[in-house]
Chains A and B, each alone.
Chain A
Amino acid sequence: MNINFSKEDIAFREEVRDWLSNDYPKHVKEKTDKGININKDDLIDFHKALSKKGWMGYNWPVEYGGTGWSASKLYIFNKELGLAGCPPILPFGVGMVGPVIYTFGNDEQKKRFLPDILNFNAWWCQGYSEPGSGSDLASLKTKAVLRNDLDEDYYVVNGSKTWTTLAQNADWIFCLVRTDNSGIKQEGISFLLIDMKSPGIEVKPIITIDGDHEVNSVFFTDVKVPAKNLIGEEGKGWTYAKFLLAHERFGIAGVGASMRQLNRLKEIISKLDNHDLQKKVNELEVALSAIEITELRLLSALENGGHPGAESSILKIKGTEMQQSLSELFVEASGEYALMYPGPHGYENNAKPAGPDYAAEGLSAFLNLRKTSIYGGSNEIQKNILSKYVLGV
Chain B
Amino acid sequence: MNLDYNDEQNMLREQIQKFCETEYDFYKREDVVKSSADFDQNVWKLFAEQGWLSMPFSEQSGGLGFGPIELSILFEEFGKALVIEPYLSTVVLSGTLLDNSIYTGRNDLIEKICSGELHISLGYAEPESGYDYQNPNTTLDTSFILNGTKTLVLNGSNSEKLIITCSKDDSLCIVIVDSKTPGVSVNSFSTVDGQSCAEISFERVKLDESNIIALGDKAINLLKQTINLATLCICAEAVGCMESCYFKTLEYTKGREQFGQPISNFQVLQHRMVDMYIESELAKSLLIKAMLEVNNNSDEMYKHVSALKSYIGKSGKLSAKEAVQLHGGMGVSEEMMIGHYLKKMITIDALFGNADYHLKKFTS
A interface residue numbers (CB < 8 A to B): 1-6, 9, 72, 278-279, 282-283, 285-287, 289-291, 293-294, 296-297, 299-301, 303-304, 311, 314, 317-318, 380, 383-384, 386-387, 390-391, 393
CB < 8 Å neighbour of B4 from A282, A285, A304: A304
> In the complex the two chains form, what is the Cα distance from A5 to B9 in whole Å?
22
Pairwise interchain contact B1-A391, C-beta atoms closer than 8 A: no
* Listed residue (B3, B250, B264) with the most chain A CB atoms within 10 angstroms of its CB: B3
Please indicate the chain A residues that have their CB under 8 angstroms from the CB of B283 in the complex.
Answer: 290
The yes or no answer to B277 lying at the interface (CB within 8 A) is yes
Pairwise interchain contact B278-A318, C-beta atoms closer than 8 A: yes
Query: Which residue of the partner chain A has the closest CB to B309?
Result: A286
The yes or no answer to B311 lying at the interface (CB within 8 A) is yes
> In the complex the two chains form, what is the Cα distance from A3 to B1 in whole Å?
5
Pairwise interchain contact B1-A4, C-beta atoms closer than 8 A: yes
> In the complex the two chains form, what is the Cα distance from A72 to B2 in whole Å?
11
Query: Which residue of the partner chain B has the closest CB to A317?
Result: B278
CB < 8 Å neighbour of B362 from A286, A300, A318: A286
> In the complex the two chains form, what is the Cα distance from A235 to B1 in whole Å?
42
A-B contact pairs, 16 of them (CB 8 A): A1-B3, A2-B3, A282-B362, A286-B307, A287-B282, A290-B282, A290-B286, A291-B285, A296-B1, A299-B1, A300-B3, A301-B3, A301-B4, A304-B4, A318-B282, A383-B275
Please indicate the chain B residues that have their CB under 8 angstroms from the CB of A3 in the complex.
Answer: 1, 3, 288-289, 292
Please indicate the chain A residues that have their CB under 8 angstroms from the CB of B273 in the complex.
Answer: 387, 391, 393
Chain A proximity mask over B337-364: 1 for CB below 8 Å, otherwise 0: 0000000000000000000100110110
Please indicate the chain B residues that have their CB under 8 angstroms from the CB of A289 in the complex.
Answer: 286, 289, 307
CB of A87, distance to nearest CB on chain B (Å): 28
CB < 8 Å neighbour of B1 from A6, A278, A291, A390: A6
Pairwise interchain contact A293-B288, C-beta atoms closer than 8 A: yes
Query: Which residue of the partner chain B has the closest CB to A72?
Result: B1
Query: Which residue of the partner chain B has the closest CB to A385?
Result: B274
Pairwise interchain contact B285-A297, C-beta atoms closer than 8 A: yes
4 closest Cβ contacts across the A-B interface?
Answer: A293-B285, A300-B3, A290-B282, A387-B270
New A-B pairs, 4, CB < 8 Å, besides A2-B3, A2-B292, A393-B273: A279-B356, A296-B3, A314-B282, A390-B274
> In the complex the two chains form, what is the Cα distance from A291 to B285 in whole Å?
8
Pairwise interchain contact A5-B285, C-beta atoms closer than 8 A: no
B interface residue numbers (CB < 8 A to A): 1-6, 9, 69, 250, 253-254, 264-265, 267, 270-271, 273-275, 277-278, 281-283, 285-286, 288-289, 292, 307, 310-311, 356, 359-360, 362-363
Please indicate the chain B residues that have their CB under 8 angstroms from the CB of A300 in the complex.
Answer: 1-4
> In the complex the two chains form, what is the Cα distance from A303 to B282 in whole Å?
20
> In the complex the two chains form, what is the Cα distance from A299 to B4 in whole Å?
11
> In the complex the two chains form, what is the Cα distance from A304 to B250 in whole Å?
29
Please indicate the chain B residues that have their CB under 8 angstroms from the CB of A287 in the complex.
Answer: 282, 311
Please indicate the chain B residues that have their CB under 8 angstroms from the CB of A285 in the complex.
Answer: 307, 362-363
Q: A387-B273, A393-B264 are in contact. Are A282 and B292 (CB under 8 A)?
A: no
Query: Which residue of the partner chain A has the closest CB to B276?
Result: A391
CB of B23, distance to nearest CB on chain A (Å): 28
Please indicate the chain B residues that have their CB under 8 angstroms from the CB of A301 in the complex.
Answer: 3-4
> In the complex the two chains form, what is the Cα distance from A222 to B289 in whole Å?
57
CB < 8 Å neighbour of A293 from B2, B289, B356: B289
> In the complex the two chains form, what is the Cα distance from A383 to B363 in whole Å?
32
Please indicate the chain B residues that have their CB under 8 angstroms from the CB of A386 in the complex.
Answer: 274, 277-278
Pairwise interchain contact A393-B3, C-beta atoms closer than 8 A: no
Pairwise interchain contact B282-A1, C-beta atoms closer than 8 A: no
> In the complex the two chains form, what is the Cα distance from A387 to B275 in whole Å?
10
Pairwise interchain contact B282-A294, C-beta atoms closer than 8 A: yes
CB of A274, distance to nearest CB on chain B (Å): 14
Please indicate the chain B residues that have their CB under 8 angstroms from the CB of A72 in the complex.
Answer: 1
CB of B327, distance to nearest CB on chain A (Å): 16
Pairwise interchain contact B281-A311, C-beta atoms closer than 8 A: yes
> In the complex the two chains form, what is the Cα distance from A293 to B290 in whole Å?
11
> In the complex the two chains form, what is the Cα distance from A293 to B289 in whole Å?
7
CB of A320, distance to nearest CB on chain B (Å): 13
> In the complex the two chains form, what is the Cα distance from A56 to B2 in whole Å?
28
Please indicate the chain B residues that have their CB under 8 angstroms from the CB of A383 in the complex.
Answer: 270-271, 274-275
Pairwise interchain contact A282-B359, C-beta atoms closer than 8 A: yes
> In the complex the two chains form, what is the Cα distance from A297 to B264 in whole Å?
28
CB < 8 Å neighbour of B359 from A283, A304, A317, A384: A283
Please indicate the chain A residues that have their CB under 8 angstroms from the CB of B362 in the complex.
Answer: 282, 285-286
Please indicate the chain A residues that have their CB under 8 angstroms from the CB of B286 in the complex.
Answer: 286, 289-290, 293
Please indicate the chain A residues that have their CB under 8 angstroms from the CB of B264 in the complex.
Answer: 391, 393
Pairwise interchain contact B270-A391, C-beta atoms closer than 8 A: yes
Query: Which residue of the partner chain A has the closest CB to B4?
Result: A304
Please indicate the chain A residues that have their CB under 8 angstroms from the CB of B359 in the complex.
Answer: 279, 282-283, 286
Query: Which residue of the partner chain B has the closest CB to A3?
Result: B292
> In the complex the two chains form, what is the Cα distance from A294 to B279 in whole Å?
11
CB of A319, distance to nearest CB on chain B (Å): 12
CB of B254, distance to nearest CB on chain A (Å): 7
> In the complex the two chains form, what is the Cα distance from A293 to B6 in whole Å?
18
> In the complex the two chains form, what is the Cα distance from A390 to B250 in whole Å?
11
Pairwise interchain contact B307-A393, C-beta atoms closer than 8 A: no
Pairwise interchain contact A297-B288, C-beta atoms closer than 8 A: yes
CB < 8 Å neighbour of A294 from B281, B310, B356: B281
> In the complex the two chains form, what is the Cα distance from A282 to B356 in whole Å?
10
Pairwise interchain contact A1-B69, C-beta atoms closer than 8 A: yes
CB of A130, distance to nearest CB on chain B (Å): 24
> In the complex the two chains form, what is the Cα distance from A393 to B6 in whole Å?
31
CB of A154, distance to nearest CB on chain B (Å): 44
Please indicate the chain B residues that have their CB under 8 angstroms from the CB of A278 in the complex.
Answer: 363
Please indicate the chain B residues that have their CB under 8 angstroms from the CB of A1 in the complex.
Answer: 2-6, 9, 69, 288, 292
Q: A3-B1, A289-B307 are in contact. Are A387 and B285 (CB under 8 A)?
A: no
> In the complex the two chains form, what is the Cα distance from A49 to B281 in whole Å?
38
CB < 8 Å neighbour of A314 from B2, B254, B270, B281: B281
Please indicate the chain B residues that have their CB under 8 angstroms from the CB of A314 in the complex.
Answer: 278, 281-282
> In the complex the two chains form, what is the Cα distance from A300 to B264 in whole Å?
32
